[in-house]
Structures are given as C-alpha cells and as structure tokens.
Structure 1
Amino acid sequence: MGELIRTYDWASTPLGPPASWPQTLKTSVRLMLGTHHPVFIWWGDDLIQFYNDAYRQTMGPERHPGALSQGGRECWAEIWHIVGPQIEYVMAGKGATWQGEQLVPVTRHGRREEMWWTYGYSPIDDGSRPSGVGGVLVLCNDVTYQRTDARLAETQRRLNAVLNNASVSIFLMDDRQQCVYMNAAAEKMTGYTLEEVQGRPLHDVIHHTRPDGSHFPLEECAIDRAFPEDNQMQGEEVFVHKDGSFYPVVFTASPIRDADANTIGTIIEVREISAEKKAQEHQRILINELNHRVKNTLATVQSLAAQSFRGISTEDQPSIKAFEERLFALARAHDVLTRENWEKAELGEILEEVLEPYRRLGSRIEINGSAIALPPGTALALAMAVHELATNAGKYGALSTPEGRVAITWRVTPGDPPHLALRWQERDGPLVTPPTRRGFGTRLIERMLANELSGEVDLAFEPTGVVCSVRAPLAGATFIQPKRAGKARLMTCGCQTTYCVC
C-alpha cells in the first residue's frame, strides 16, 4: 500500500499533490503504513480514503484498489447509514467514538456478508478547518470469526442440552456409516458410552445379531440403507444391549444433507418399545380370555335353549333354528371384534362375517361404502340387524328367489359429529306384502338400532322389496384404510367406489 500511495496521481484529486498536504495528514499516513494493525483514514470534506496492507486484507476485490483516494460516501454507500453518523460526529469536533463488536454487513467476493468489527474513530487535527478536525483515523479489528466461534459454541451448547435431555435416542453417522455422536438417552438404552461407539459402524455394535443368535448382515439392515439410498427409513428392529440382551425398538433413519443437497451422513432416532410390547401381549391375553368367556357364555345359552326346547312340537323347530342362527351371527361379530382387540371393527368386515352363510349367492349381494371402523356396541347392533334382514330376505324376500338381489350401501355425511346413512334395499324378488303385525325380528331391528345407535330407523315393506334406512351419529367412529390384502371376498359387483368388499 505504501508503493500504491507513493505512485498515485494525487494531483488529479481534490487533495492535491502530497507536498501540499497538511503535516497532520502526512504523519497519520506514515503511522498507518508503519503498523501491522488494520488502519483506515478519511480526510477532508470528500472523505478521501487511505488504508494499509492489514486493512487491505479485509477487503474484497469489489473495493481494492479502487477504494484508494475514493470518497467515503460513494465507496461505502451500502453501510453509510451505520458509519456515516459516527464519522460526522468526529468530523464535527465532538470527539472520538468506539464501537465494540458492531455488525457491519458488506459485500465481499460477490455476496453480502455479515461482518463484525470492533473499531474506534479518532479525530486528526487540522487548524485550518472550523471544527479543528481535518479527518478521521480508524483503528479497527475484524472480529467476525471470533464472534462466529462464540455463536457456534453457544449453539453447540444449546444443541447438546436439547439432545441430551431428549427422551428419544439419537445417533449420528458420517458418510462412512461410522457413529460420530450419540446422546445420553442412546447411551442409557444401549449400555455403551459415546467413546466406546465413536468411529465404529453402529450396526457392528448394537445390531449385528438376531434374537435367534444368527448373524444379521449389514446389507439387510434398513437403518443403514438410508444413506446409500438417500431415503428415509422407518420400522421396527431388535437391538443388542451391551450385556447381550435383546430389546425391540422403533426407528427413523434419515439422510443428512448439506447446503448443496449432498448426502453427508445419517441421523437415527430410536425408541425402545419393550414396555409397549409387554402391554400389547398382556392385552392380547386379556382379549383372548374375554373372547373365550364370551364364546363359553354363548355356548351355555345355546345349551340351555336346547334343553328348554327339548320335546317341543315339530312346527316350532324353525323358531329354535332362528334363535341359534342369531347366536351364531353374534358370535361371528364377536370374532371380528376379537381380531381388533375389542377396540373398533370395520363395518365392511362385520357385514362379511354376518353374511357368511350367503356366500354361495355371489354377486346377488352388493356391499359398498366408506372404510370406517365402529365402536363395539354399534358394530354388534348393526351385525344383528343385518342378520335379521338377511334371514327375512332368505325366507320371504329377494334372497328367496334366483333373480332377487340385495344392495347394502352406506355413506358418511359431514357434521359434528358426522352421521352414518346406511341403506338395505331388496329388488327383483317376489312381490312384498306388508305384514299385518310386527314380528320379533322387525322389533329387534327397529328397537335395537334406535337405542344402541341413538339414531333413526325406517323399515319399509315396499312392493318391489324391503328397504331399511338407518341414520345415526358416528361419535367414536374412525375412518380407516381398507384391509383387503390376502383375504377371500364375499361378493362381486364390479364397482369402483372408495370401499367395496367385493
């Protein structure tokens, strides 16, 4: 910078040749060039600029060497709202200023950078000026890296605090699939410390063996495929504790990508589910016991009925058969609830089981509706009602002739709560004559559905076929994805609806 200043054509500037400069300016420039500390000078009304080699190293190619002799306002227009008032304060003869770790974002190497400076502005005397100040001497220090380091350290401290207080176990693996970090929860879960695992493939430490003692190859591990496949993986696995015991976990393994979208590692979130597995097993045992007792109860009722009806006349035998069929329909509905742990049963699946005796009729029965799971009480009530309708249709209605057909449809209407609109409709069967009195089956349908579902039931004996319409609130129901894979179909209809058991 000394060479540039000596050879510069100062005569072409408002400042004039160096021989005419005030002595205080010459002295200040000489001091500036003689130090390795970043120093800058603004001089005169135009704030003509000087700087040394130490300061030059903080400037990008956008300003050096053009900033030499340039006016300050023009050179630093992007930050003048920050430094301008401070310079004017000193130039007005009000004294020196000092700024500690001041954010002064500037453009360097083609992009805007957040730079932090600690600097002082000091007056350079000039008796010819009204304020007695001819320029500003700047002693400065770029503290961006120190501040960044401090911020990174604080961020790291906070991140460690978050990770080590997290209940889920967290592992980080680098691009070589070696573990570089595990939090406190991970150490507690695995029995290993970070020092014992760091720099080793995580699979080789806690995931190398199956519960049966066989080797678990790395290439079969879904967790480790997240990195090479650049895709998130989720599922259940079994880990090996440091003491040799096995424990089930659920995991999510996600690729870590840098700012340029390059995959540089994997973050793995793991939660041990031993307690959940035990609770599920305990619930399964309770459900099985409940189902066993329910079936025993139904069997006892059937036995009592058989003993009670022993010796009755032949004409009453159909009543006994109808009673037994109702018990069987109830048992089949209970089977569905048992498979669902007595939580909720899918309506379509309930209908499949209840209509099992009519499987031979094939496409003569259509079932269409939304995939929805119902609470146990609602499911059982609908099961018994559909059984009664099917029994009546088989004896007197559409299912009693080869041409007859039955359509069971339902939809869900929005609301709070939403409502179920279910419809049983018979057609192409014999001409229907309305009964002169309500039988047991009819009363069962109307009363049970109305009471259990807190809804409305309309049972109409139309000449073209029986129509039963049900409208009931769906508090406690859940919309679900149909479960159809690998299960035999009851009927066929060729429909394209959201849900169809065909």
Structure 2
Amino acid sequence: MKAGRDGRHGAEEHPASPAPAGPRSIGLRSLLAMAFGLIGLLAAGTTALVASQGVYAQLRQDAGAELAAAAERVADLLDRGLFERMRDLEIAAVSETLRNPGYGLPARRALLRRLQETYPYYAILLQIGPDGQILATDRGLLEGLDVSQRVYFQQGRHSTFLGDVHEAQLMAPYMQRSDDEPPRVLDLATPILDEAGRLKGVLAAHLSVDWVEGIERSVIQPLLQRHPGVRALVLDSQGRVVIGPRGPGRRQAPLLPEEIRQQLQKGPGSHVIERREGARLVGFAPLDGHRHVGSLGWSVLVMHEATDAFAPAEALRWRLLAIGFLAAQLAAAVGWVVAGRIARPLERLSQAALRLREQPEAVLPAPGRLSEVAALHGALGALHRSLRQREQELSDSEARMRAVLEQMPIGVALAERPSGRVIFQNACATEMLRHPIVVADSVADYVRLGGQYPDGTPLRAEDYPLAQAVLKGRPVQHASLSYRRGDGVTIWLSVNAAPVRSAGDGAALAVCTFEDVTEMRAAAERQRLLAQEVDHRARNALAVVQATLRLSRADTLPGFVQSLEGRVAALARAQSRLAAAAWKGIELGTLLEEEIGAAARGIPKVAERIDLLGPRLVLAAEIAQPISLMIHELTANAMQHGALSQPGGRITVEWRADAAQGMLRLRWQEQGGPAAGPEEPRSGFGLRMIEATLGNQLSGRYQFEWREEGLLLSAWLPLARIVSQERAASA
C-alpha cells in the first residue's frame, strides 16, 4: 500500500517532468516518414523494375515462340503432305488397272491422269515395268524411255521411296516457270505387286517443289500482316536452301548455323543469332516425317530482325519504368503524410505507457487537458484485469478445442501467423503421415516435410497449402498433394488450408486439414480407363458397321436388307458374346456352333449337318468380331451356293494348333452341295471380307479351292495374334 501511495504521489507532483538529458534522438514522425518513404520508394521502384523485366522477357519469349510455331506449322504441313502423296501412290499401286497387264494403255493413262488432276503439283506420274522401261504416264510423255538406272526405280522395286529435291532432268522441257530458276522436283516411288506379291513394276512420281512454296506462303502471309519483314526458309539435310527468298545465291546459300543445327535435334524452338549486320531472331522446326513415311532431314526457319521483333517489348519496358518512378515519388509523399497521423497519437500513448509501467496503480491527472490520458489509464487497468481473466478462459477453451480436434477423423494442423510455426497436430495427422510436423518452427522448415511434386522432387516450402494460408492469408481448397510418409510410402492427400479469422478480422493462426485420397484417386483412374475402353470399343463397332453398310451389295432392295441385317446381326452377336465373357475372349468351338446355328437357323436340324473338330481354343476379344463376321459369310455362302443349299450337304470345320510353328490351321470343307467349278464368282463382299479378315486383320495365309464336291478353305493363322493372352495366362 505504501508503494501505491508513493506512486500516486509522484504522479501528482511531477505530471510532466522532462526526460533526463541525453544524446539527441530522432523524432517518431521523422523516423516513420523516412521509413514509409524508403519502403514506398523501394517497393514501387522494385515492382516497376521487376514487372518491366518480367514483361520484357515474356514478350521476347512470345516473339520467339510465335516464329517457332509458324516454323513448326510449315514443317507439319510438309510432313503430312509428303505422307498424303505417298499414300496416293500406294493406293494407286494396288489398283487392278496397274496390276493387271490386261488393261490397255488408255486405261492406265486415264488412272494416272485422274491422280494428277487431284493434285496438280505432280509434275509427272509414271508406271514403270520390271525392266525399267516407262510403260505409261499421265500425259503420254517419256513413254518407252529406260529409267532402270534411276535411284527411284531401283529403290522403288523393293519398298516405298522418297528422294531429296533435285533439278528436273527428263521433265525440264515440259515444266514452265515464270522465273529463271530451273524446275526442281522430289522423287516418290512404290512397288506394284500382284496378289501373290510378285513385282509387276514401279509407280513413280516427280513432285514439284512449288508445292512446298504454296505451304510456306499459306503460313507466312498471315504472319507478315502482323510482323512485316518476316522471312521463311526451307533447308535440306545439308543446310542448303530448298525454298526461300529469290536471288542469285539461292543454291549457294550458307549452311545451317551450328547453334540451330544442334537445337533442331531437340525439336522446334527459337534462337537469337548474332551477325555482323545485326541480331536476328530465328524460329525453327525439323521435319520428322509422318507415320510410315520417314523424314528427308529438312528444316524450316522463320526469321525476323531482332530490333523489329523486340521493339514492342523495349517500348513497354521503358513505359513501365517511367510509371514505377512516378509511383515511387507518390509513395514517398503519401508516407510522409501518413507518418504524421500515426506519430501524434503514438507519442501521447507512449508517455502514458511509460507512467503505467513505472506506477501500475497510479492515478492520472484529473480532468483537464489530460483527461484523455486519465481515460486511457482506466481503460488500460481494466484491460489488464480483463486480460488475466481471459487468459484463464482461453486456457480452458484451448483444452476443449484440442479434445475436439483430437477426435476428428481427418488430419488437422495449426500454425502461427506469420511465422508458420506448427503448434498442433492431432493423432489422425500423425497416423496418416507417419511422422510429426510440429518440428517445423517456420515456413522455411516445411521443406523438410514429405510433400513432393508429381515428378517426385521435394515441394518448395512456399508451395505448401498451409504456407499459402500463413504467408498470403489466402484459403486453399481441395488441393491435391503427393506426400511421402515417414515410412517411405507415397500417398495422395486432399488438403484444405485457411487463416483463422477473429471477430476483429485478424488472423493469428492458420488451420490445415487433410485426408488420404489415394484409394479414391485410384478408383477414379480405373473409371476413366474403363470409360476410354468403352468409347474405343464403341467406335470400333461403329466403324465395322459403317464399312459393312458401304460395301454390301445386292440385286434387289429386299436382298440388300436381308444381307445387311444378317451381317449386322453377326456383329451384334459377337458383341453380346464378348460382353457376357467380360471381354476376355470367346472359345472357338462355341463361336462356330453358335454363329453357324444363328446364320442357318432357317434350316431344320442344321446342327446335325455340322461337324466341329478341334481342341478348346479361346480367341482374343479383338479377334472375335472379325471371326464371327467371317463365319457368317461362309455360312451364308453355303446356304445360297454351297453345302447347305442341298438337303444332304454337310460342313466340316477342323482346327489344330501347332505350337512349334506358332500357327493355327483352320479348314472349312463343304460336301454334298452343288458342284463348284474354277469359274465360281469371287468378287462379292463376303469373299473380299473373308480375304481381308484372314490376310490383313489376322496376318495369316489362306487358300480357296473350288472343288467338285464343294468349297475347301484352308487358313494358317499366327497363334500369338488370335489367342487370348489373358485366358492363356490364367490357364
């Protein structure tokens, strides 16, 4: 009590005693003004500098990316164009007009002329005999000429051939150009084989490089409207100009720069080349080929002078710096004004706080000029007592909160703001992560936790959802996080984080909740793959139905409908069987019995006229559908022309697996039907479908024998292609 009275007395006797003399100190307002001004200056200046640098770098990168995209577009169009031209030749080479020597010269010329008319950039199309003599051309030119020593003939006898660009020799007199440049062409060739695979000749074409110029113009012209001065070059494998700006040095153009040659091996990109006359921005892309047509080793360059390409970026950069300088000056002025407003009440508050620290029970002066100080003293005293009471209440509340959080079925962690120190984690979090996280004393320590990017590299501390809530006060919802647990197992977490705001809109804590969603993600992935598989199979089924609709033929509409219904029904039955077997394959004997019975259901006791001889063999799911359609066609043929068209006719189907040779031998033999001679018609859809199924889809060999007692079909099919591997593994 004595100390309290002495304190009150001192306060009344020396209400405004001056501070002891000492070193001259700086005023609070001046200090705050300098601090705010300096911070504003640094913040605005740094922001402007960083923003300008970032925008400048991004614009430079965008300029290069735009040129690289144009080069890549030209390269892709060239690759696809070469593929389409080669496909034209391959399709034409299998036509009967070229394969069958019975077709006359006018018919072959007409075929080649139609092909040339579909694509005018063909300089000439040539049918060459096995001895190297030109048999026919689209316009009748050069016929009878010997080209046996030409590379395209020698290479085209064995496989498809794509030659590099060269000056036209044979066709030079017939190719007119508006400039003085000699005409240049690319050589394309493919063998002409008969059904037995014997060489009947070579189909070749000279493709004019004007086709390349057309593609280059279609891509570069829109770019020139935005960036005048852009140029494009197409270079061959030696770095020489194939297509580019006209000029006397075109054919002696410099080789491809080494720095770009090395980067072309990695794919499209851009690069700044420093030259004596100035820097140049170059976008580039290689020609990689398309599908089975390989690459010629060409490359596409799209060039723009660097000063012109980067001019917009330079202008924007200086504008941002100017704006940043003005903003920094404004921030310094605002800082001075704000400092004055903050300093005055703080100075008065600091004096009262000093007295309260020395005399906690002191009574401040009576009402007067210092009445606000007396009110503040009373408020501080009440606040002191209230804080002690609240401290106890908070302690009790914290205990209750911890008990609730410990019972939650998900992981929970609390961190202080703004340090990021983790102050709590419940038992579920420890069990889920297999290690404590309360060892993190700051956001920087989060790097020691188990978060990782999808590629397995450790997650940066600032990228944790809890760090986002701590540092930026920003909530994060349903973030997916790959996490390596303390026992080394990697799991996936669904994470939520947010600052915990009080009634005063402050946030001293951040909360993070997470749960293990590894199994949920795995289930979603399985569902996605299942949906893709269903879509794939539906597309395949629709494609087969479409082909059946397109190729089916009949003399009458009822006949067409009956034929089409039977084939679609065969496809539907195959789908139903596969679905019933969970798409794991179908047993061959069962498939034969059911499909023959379904196709010949109008014949009484047809099952007694069918002999199925062979071991149990499960077909792969993707093979079941074409096999079903083939059996349907054979049965339909037997009903109309073969053994099932006569009361006493029979069908015997035998199959045997030869594991040593990896082949399945399949025999379809008809007996007791009408006699079938060698002139039996063989051009129907059914026969073409059977041949395509056995030869193309099943990669097998086959032989039709039209015997007097009936049809005999022998087929040799690769076991690895047709047998269900899943059923074989389970067996």
- The TM tier, using the shorter chain, reads 0.3 to 0.5
TM-score, scaled to structure 2: 0.25
Q: Which has the higher strand share?
A: 1
TM score, norm. by length of structure 1:
0.35
Greater relative contact order (Cα 8 A, min sep 6): structure 1 or 2? 2
